[in-house]
């Protein structure tokens, strides 16, 4: 047998891993483990070649600079405007690699150390779990889930699925105050799996006989040198059911009334994607991860509770990453309130009574605009410092990018409190106002 340590972790032990990933592991690595291509009994009929490959740490979908910040910080996590980003990627293992190796493993101990450090870090006001994992080992998973649940009582924690949070990955995601996934993202697989390898046929063909001498009737149960007896299979299945109950209970503790333990168990280890996951109670919102992360940062910067279970008001504050020399140029912002003036964009604008979810959707929609590409700073200003809806913001961003006349830009920015003068009647056309916007807001 080659790679005995890997074999011991993958076979004859309960795993919180999606069935597709388990089969992909056996199909892809079985030749090296067994010396021949294994026959998979009870697996899926077909498996795409690339769909379920292990995520390789760490190319963040939340912020392009996060991986650099992680390497430079020495803490295992990056901090963006008061939010610590903890990557949960690849195969999750007990007592494994600290952050990740070429094999794509991440240890529960390493993740726990990062979460604890972020909880105690005075610079951190919130924690973002960036999750892309099909699951891993049972050992260590529920302890980390409990820790995340405890930490969220003191600091807001949100889980951003990018794009997979299955089995053990979902056990961790479910402990966050909110779970956000993209339309193509998947969550769930609340179940347990165990694989048994039977070497007896291969050994017989090779003329090799293994004799096991044991003390205790069940000491050699499940050994790989003989077929799995029915009574042993039934006992292992009972253990799997008990662990599934524990798994569902952990999910219920994390999700509360959104998905209690009985509802979690009733999913029968199904996986859910996008809107279906929200409808089933496994997730809270469908949004592009980076836009949702920007909205979470805005929550933290605004000092509001990031649990986002009640309406909030965006109060006056400096824009994120505002330079000192920009402060004198920017007009003071008043607290957003529901005024009497009605515009065609009012349905997109937050008010004192608007839900936090609506405001998050407005912010996410602005960052998702094609016109926002290459204009991050202006997009951030429009999202966090104005009431403008996505359509109005698209016009401003397009005008800034194309260098339209000052009159057109002024019309697009109607209602935005800026110090850019409206061009006088008869003034020559030119990019003066656009240049001013670019100078102030673009990086």
Average pLDDT of each block of 10 consecutive residues along the chain (443 residues)? 56 67 55 52 44 42 58 71 93 70 73 91 95 94 97 97 96 98 97 90 91 93 92 94 97 98 97 97 96 94 52 33 42 38 43 58 82 80 82 86 52 45 48 48 47
Q: How much is the pLDDT for 383?
A: 80
Domain 1-309 has CATH 3.30.450.20: no
- Burial bucket for residue 212 (CB in 10 Å: 0-12, 13-18, 19+): exposed
402, 370 Cβ separation under 8 angstroms: no
* Distance (Å) of CA 137 to CA 129, 130, 161, 417: 19, 19, 19, 54
* Distance (Å) of CA 303 to CA 142, 229, 287, 330, 362: 31, 60, 22, 21, 19
Taking the C-alpha atoms of residue 267 and residue 190, their distance in angstroms, rounded to an integer, is 7
pTM: 0.61
User: What residue ranges do the domains of the chain occupy?
Assistant: 1-309, 312-338+347-441
Q: How much is the pLDDT for 388?
A: 86
Q: How much is the pLDDT for 226?
A: 92
């Amino acid at each position: 047998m080659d790679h005995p340590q890997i074999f011991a972790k993958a076979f004859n032990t309960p795993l919180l891993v999606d069935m597709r990933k388990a089969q992909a592991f056996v199909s892809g690595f079985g030749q090296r483990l067994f010396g021949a291509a294994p026959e998979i009994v009870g697996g899926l009929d077909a498996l795409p070649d690339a769909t379920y490959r292990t995520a390789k740490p760490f190319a963040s979908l939340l912020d392009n600079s996060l991986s650099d910040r992680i390497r430079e910080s020495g803490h295992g996590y990056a901090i963006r405007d008061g939010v610590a980003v903890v990557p949960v990627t690849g195969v999750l293992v007990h007592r494994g690699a600290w952050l990740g190796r070429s094999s794509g493993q991440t240890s529960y101990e390493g993740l726990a150390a990062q979460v604890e450090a972020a909880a105690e870090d005075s610079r951190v006001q919130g924690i973002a779990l960036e999750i892309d994992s099909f699951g891993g080992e049972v050992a260590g998973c529920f302890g980390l889930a409990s820790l995340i649940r405890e930490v969220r009582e003191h600091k807001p924690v949100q889980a951003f699925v990018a794009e997979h949070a299955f089995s053990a990955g979902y056990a961790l995601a479910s402990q966050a105050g909110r779970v956000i996934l993209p339309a193509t993202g998947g969550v769930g697989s609340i179940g347990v799996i165990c694989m048994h390898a039977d070497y007896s046929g291969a050994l017989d063909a090779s003329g090799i006989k293994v004799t096991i001498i044991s003390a205790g009737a069940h000491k050699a149960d499940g050994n790989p040198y003989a077929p799995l007896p029915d009574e042993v299979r039934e006992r292992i299945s009972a253990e799997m059911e008990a662990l599934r109950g524990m798994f569902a209970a952990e999910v219920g503790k994390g999700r509360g009334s959104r998905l209690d333990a009985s509802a979690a168990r009733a999913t029968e280890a199904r996986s859910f994607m996008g809107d279906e996951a929200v409808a089933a109670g496994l997730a809270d919102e469908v949004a592009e991860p980076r836009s949702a992360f920007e909205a979470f940062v805005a929550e933290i910067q605004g000092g509001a509770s990031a649990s986002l279970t009640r309406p909030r008001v965006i109060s006056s504050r400096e824009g994120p990453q505002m330079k000192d020399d920009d402060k004198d140029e920017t007009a003071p912002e008043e607290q957003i309130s529901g005024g009497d003036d009605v515009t065609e964009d009012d349905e997109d604008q937050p008010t004192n009574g608007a839900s936090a979810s609506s405001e998050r959707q407005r912010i996410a929609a602005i960052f998702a605009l094609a016109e926002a590409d290459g204009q991050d700073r202006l997009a951030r200003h429009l999202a966090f410092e104005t009431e403008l809806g996505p359509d109005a913001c698209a016009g401003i961003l397009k005008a800034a990018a194309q260098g339209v006349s000052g009159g057109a830009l002024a019309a697009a920015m109607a209602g935005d409190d800026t110090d850019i003068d409206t061009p006088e009647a008869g003034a020559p056309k030119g990019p003066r106002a656009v240049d001013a916007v670019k100078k102030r807001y673009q990086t």
